[in-house]
Structure 1
Amino acid sequence: MFQTFDSASDSAQAASRVSALREQLEALDLTGFLVPRADEHQGEYVAPCSERLSWLTGFTGSAGAALILRDSAILFVDGRYTLQAAEQTDGNIFQIESLVTNPPRSWMKASLPSDARIGFDPWLHTIGEMRSMREALVRRGVELVPVANLVDKVWQDRPAPPVKPLTIHPLQYAGETAGEKLDRIGEVLREANIAHTVLTDPSSLAWLFNIRGSDVPHTPLALGFAILSAHGRPKLFLHPGKLSIETKAYLTQLADLHLPEMLESELTALASSEASIGLDPALAAEKLRAIVEAAGRNVEDFKDPTRLPRAIKNAVELVGSRNAHHRDGAAVASFLAWLDRQTPEELDEIAVVEKLEAFRRETGEHFQMPLKDISFDTISGSGPNGAIIHYRVNTQSSRKLSSHELLLLDSGAQYEDGTTDITRTIALGQAYDEQRQRFTLVLKGMIAITRLRFPEGTRGVDIDAFARTALWQHGLDYAHGTGHGVGSYLAVHEGPQSISRRGTEKLHAGMIISNEPGYYKPGHYGIRIENLIAVTPAEEIAGGDIPMHGFETLTLAPIDRKLIAPELLSAEERAWLDEYHARVMQEIAPLVDEETRTWLEAATAPL
């Protein structure tokens, strides 16, 4: 199993751990210390040695921060994790605040005394984050003090950093050699008049050098850094224990290899040479800015030059994604057919996760494209657990299924040719009228995004409301974005594109993005329907004036007809659903066994 079910949350230890941290505050004469859910690379998935927020608070979500003060503590989480944070943390220790509407800088501006001194680890906060924080707090007289990480000082059994072997990502799946990519990115630096930049995102290293690793859970990344130059060879900072003879020989052709601890001295030398240094304020650590400025240079804001090219998939990557989704669709259909034959009360949430992973393994082996990993911990939430947006089942929380409840199943897979992410909400018995109504409103939003045509320059923020309109008309909404970017055998959450209120990146042909509106009734059930879609090239529309982009649906699996209220769908929406299900039947049925094929025929029948 790629997923484990041990509970990583341990709020019982929070009191003693927070107390030990407060002793460090007193020793350094600090008012408080910030603990973000981050590592030196600012990635969503971090190695166990970087799970400082979870270790300290018990909260295991993928986004959040804590502010530990002398006599109080605040945990900041976004809307995905409000219920989870309340369940996982000790309410006697932590006050929960919104990471979106009242983030640490806003809370500190409103609540801290003017002589407060707040410590932070400059490796764990971005340049942009600290810039905003200083702007918010400097007039208040609050001092932000860079210090060595205080959690590390009191975390006695902290795991060692990962040193796992990396692999070369074959050209047949990458579609472009690393040398070609380096030439392209070098030209970007020259056009921007940037002499050097630091890549801090391991996804950028993976894409640029066509390598993959296993340093963090479920995402094939090798943690490291790179310095790219407008002229001259890149410098790649990787632990030598990650390199075999083959991978070292491969990378030596592309870059000069250095130990990770040499990054500071190499960056200092480049900054001292009066060359321009560009850093991405949204991704680069504040520590890197401090290194450059200590050497006498000012940092120029410069977006990670690989981020947009990585998001715009080439033709080979798109073919790989389609193939991965066909294979994954067969696994999901086989699972759904199996589930429909079971008595729900004889299963629990963990059994569901185990069986789905088994189908993915078997299907991958059958088609000679092994399942490399799951793309994130499967969300298997029955009944009230489905209302916890990013619920992670463990041995303590796992519930028995019930024929009177819904099951929300959000899962994905990592194959060498593509990354998948799919959510289906399943009625385990007869659905109630309210559930059918709200499921159909969510479905209307998903269909609205899928059917959109939009002009060049459209951003995710411009279309997010289409997914919510049907819900809004009934006084309903959901507290997460509608869609996130997805990598090519890389991170299942990939920027810069998104469909959300913060989605300011233009949508370009070739981008893969999720389409996943939802509805959550705390204490009762959750609903989410998710397909992955790819932005198609702009095309002329008969009688129109401007070419329009659209979306190609990649995910192929039935949507539960028991949960659909057909009378709430327009004729166009019904036609889309029937056409989608006909496509699922046509493309997935040949890949599954006869028993699943029979089930699939009924599951994809026209409304």
Structure 2
Amino acid sequence: MFQSFTASTSPDQGAPRLALLRAELAARGIDGFFVPRADAHQGEYVSPHDERLSWLTGFTGSAGFCVVLQQVAGVFIDGRYTIQVRDQIDLTAYQPVPWPQTSAADWLIQHANSGAVIGFDPWLHTPDEIAKIEDGLRGHGITLQALDSNPLDAIWADQPAPAQGRVRAHPLTLAGRSSAEKRAEIAAQLQHSGITATVITLADSLAWLMNWRGADITRNPVVQGFAILHSNAQIDLFIDTAKLTDITIEPDVTLHAPEAFVPALRALDGPVQFDPATAPLAVKTALNQGVEGADPFLMAKAIKHPAELAGMRAAHLRDGAAMVEFLAWYDAQDLTSLSEIDMAQRLESFRAATGELLDLSFDTISSTGPNAAINHYRVTEDSNRMLQSGDLFLIDSGGQYPDGTTDITRTLPVGEVARNRRAAYTRVLQGMIAISRARFPRGVAGGHLDALARYPLWLDGLDFDHGTGHGVGAALSVHEGPMRLSRVSMLPFEPGMILSNEPGYYRPKAFGIRIENLIVVQEAAPLGESRPWLDFETITFCPIDKRLILQELMTADEVAWLDAYHAQVWENLNARVSETARTWLQQACAPLG
């Protein structure tokens, strides 16, 4: 089995580790310190070497940070982790801070003395991030100071070594373009802009550009390293060469040791582009002629090549068949004799049975009852809950396959479920259908469409505290920027982008609901005005549970969409599943009416 269910930290470790860090800060003459979730590559997921936030505090969420002062320490979390953080940290040592409602600057102004010096590791923060905090602190006598070494690393006696995952080639048949073609395309953009080179710091950008896949980060086949792409399409790559024993190095690729990266940055002539939103501040500091600009690989990676889309569609058919086997098994069980871990393990076994599973795309969120109200809940042996009659069971999961990355959520009944829970489920489903059916002109962004998913919930006074959808990589990271289905995103959608469509509803200490498919932005058929239109192709195929639906709440168009979707599920999957699962699938895909 790929997934472990042992808790990596516990709250009782937080206070003694905090005391060690405070002593180290005092010895350095520093009044406070930032402990972010991020690593030097600013990825959402980090290797064990970079799990500083969870090691110190116990909090394992994928976003957040801690600010440590001598008298108080705040753990900053967004709405997804309001419940989780209280279960994972020592509340006598740390205080949860709602973020971004309370900014780091606001909190420091309230808790730090005038004249305080707050340290940070310049490899773990971006220029934009530090500039925003400094702007908020202006006039209050509190200063930020970049440190030469990380004081937390100094007290972490058994800190794991940096990741050394083996790199494998990503075939041209799946990538669609060679690495040389990609480098030439970006280099031409640099030349056009008068830029001599651009700095690559994001691990997924590096993997995409080189047509490599790695094993440095669990669940995400990225490659950790740094690179400098020159305007002549030559590239200097700073990486542990032990990772590359299975890779053929092309003539225009020059390998260097990781420690040569900063000297190489300092030696660069001419304007060199870096992304202030994603590169470490240390990169900006090292450049003589740094020019701010968006990472040019982000949009290039986000708009999938037809070969990448074909691979993703194939992966989702394979994954959908595994999901059907699991759902058919689920309905045949005495559910109250099974636990969250049982469910996660069984689903993983069906994915592994495909013979193509490389890894999970994230730790399976297998949750029931009050645990399902925790957006990013991760079951452990300590939290493992038995399914109980009347509960809702939520399973959010995905796989990494050679040709694609999947992410799917289904919410299922455990016996008879109360009407108010079914009503909330129906509202969530209506929101998911609204996004699936959306048709919109070019120039529309996730911030424009996000309300479509929420409006059915708003009718009943309900909402959810996460975005409606995130970008997804093609056989890469399950969370990929820059596109999002979120009220804060104003990046226009382009054909070829892949996103999740996952509205939800969560009642603390009671239940949680989420339904998720992946969708691809595509050109829509002409209608009315001659302006270009876009819509979504759904590439996830798996039945949506009908037993929880209150059909009287749904419109005829919504029912028609669901019936048409289930007809597609049947057509695509019936020949891919076992005879037992096929019998179940036929009933699961029968028209709602």
Q: Give TM-score, length-normalised by structure 1.
A: 0.96
Structure 2 letter corresponding to 1:121: D
**Pairwise CA distance, 1:66:** 0.3
Name the SS for the 1:454 alignment partner: strand
| Aligned residue number for residue 598 of structure 1 | 583
Distance, in Å, in 1 between the alignment partners of 2:443 and 2:466 is 23
Whether 2:219 is the aligned partner of 1:218: answer yes
Distance, in Å, in 2 between the alignment partners of 1:188 and 1:408 is 45
Whether 2:374 is the aligned partner of 1:403: answer no
Matches within 5 A, 1:225-240: 225-231=226-232, 233-240=234-241
Moved more, 256-265 or 106-115: 106-115
Contact 1:194-1:277 within 8 A present in 2 as well: yes
Whether 2:259 is the aligned partner of 1:289: answer no
Whether 2:313 is the aligned partner of 1:322: answer yes
Distance, in Å, in 2 between the alignment partners of 1:183 and 1:581 is 44
Whether 2:169 is the aligned partner of 1:168: answer yes
| Aligned residue number for residue 585 of structure 1 | 570
**Pairwise CA distance, 1:300:** 1.6
Name the SS for the 1:527 alignment partner: strand
Structure 2 letter corresponding to 1:257: L
Name the SS for the 1:100 alignment partner: coil
Computed over aligned residues only, the root mean square deviation of the Cα atoms, in angstroms, reads 1.1
| Aligned residue number for residue 508 of structure 2 | 522
Any gaps of 5 or more consecutive residues in structure 2? none
| Aligned residue number for residue 467 of structure 1 | 453
Any gaps of 5 or more consecutive residues in structure 1? none
| Aligned residue number for residue 339 of structure 1 | 330
The one of 248, 253, 273 aligned to 1:255: 253
Contact 1:455-1:538 within 8 A present in 2 as well: no
**Pairwise CA distance, 1:538:** 4.2
Structure 1 letter corresponding to 2:138: V
| Aligned residue number for residue 374 of structure 1 | 360
**Pairwise CA distance, 1:98:** 1.6
Contact 1:431-1:562 within 8 A present in 2 as well: no
Name the SS for the 1:539 alignment partner: coil
Distance, in Å, in 2 between the alignment partners of 1:185 and 1:107 is 41
Structure 1 letter corresponding to 2:487: R
Matches within 5 A, 1:243-282: 243-244=244-245, 246-247=246-247, 250-270=248-268, 273=269, 275-282=270-277
Name the SS for the 1:586 alignment partner: helix
Distance, in Å, in 1 between the alignment partners of 2:411 and 2:251 is 49
Equivalent residue pairs, number: 591
Distance, in Å, in 1 between the alignment partners of 2:186 and 2:524 is 25
Distance, in Å, in 2 between the alignment partners of 1:464 and 1:108 is 33
| Aligned residue number for residue 45 of structure 2 | 45
**Pairwise CA distance, 1:547:** 2.3
| Aligned residue number for residue 432 of structure 2 | 446
Percent identity (aligned): 47
Distance, in Å, in 2 between the alignment partners of 1:332 and 1:253 is 44
Distance, in Å, in 2 between the alignment partners of 1:23 and 1:508 is 51
| Aligned residue number for residue 201 of structure 1 | 202
Contact 2:184-2:233 within 8 A present in 1 as well: no
| Aligned residue number for residue 303 of structure 1 | 294
Name the SS for the 1:140 alignment partner: coil
| Aligned residue number for residue 31 of structure 1 | 31
Distance, in Å, in 2 between the alignment partners of 1:344 and 1:474 is 30
The one of 457, 465, 469 aligned to 1:483: 469
Structure 2 letter corresponding to 1:322: R
Contact 1:379-1:393 within 8 A present in 2 as well: yes
Contact 1:53-1:66 within 8 A present in 2 as well: yes
Contact 2:183-2:233 within 8 A present in 1 as well: no
**Pairwise CA distance, 1:139:** 2.1
Whether 2:407 is the aligned partner of 1:421: answer yes
Q: Give TM-score, length-normalised by structure 2.
A: 0.98
Q: Could you give the per-residue CA deviations for residues 34-76 of structure 1, whole angstroms, max 9, x where no partner exists?
A: 0000100000111001000000000011111001100111000
Distance, in Å, in 1 between the alignment partners of 2:161 and 2:205 is 24
Distance, in Å, in 2 between the alignment partners of 1:372 and 1:481 is 28
Structure 2 letter corresponding to 1:217: T
Contact 2:187-2:233 within 8 A present in 1 as well: no
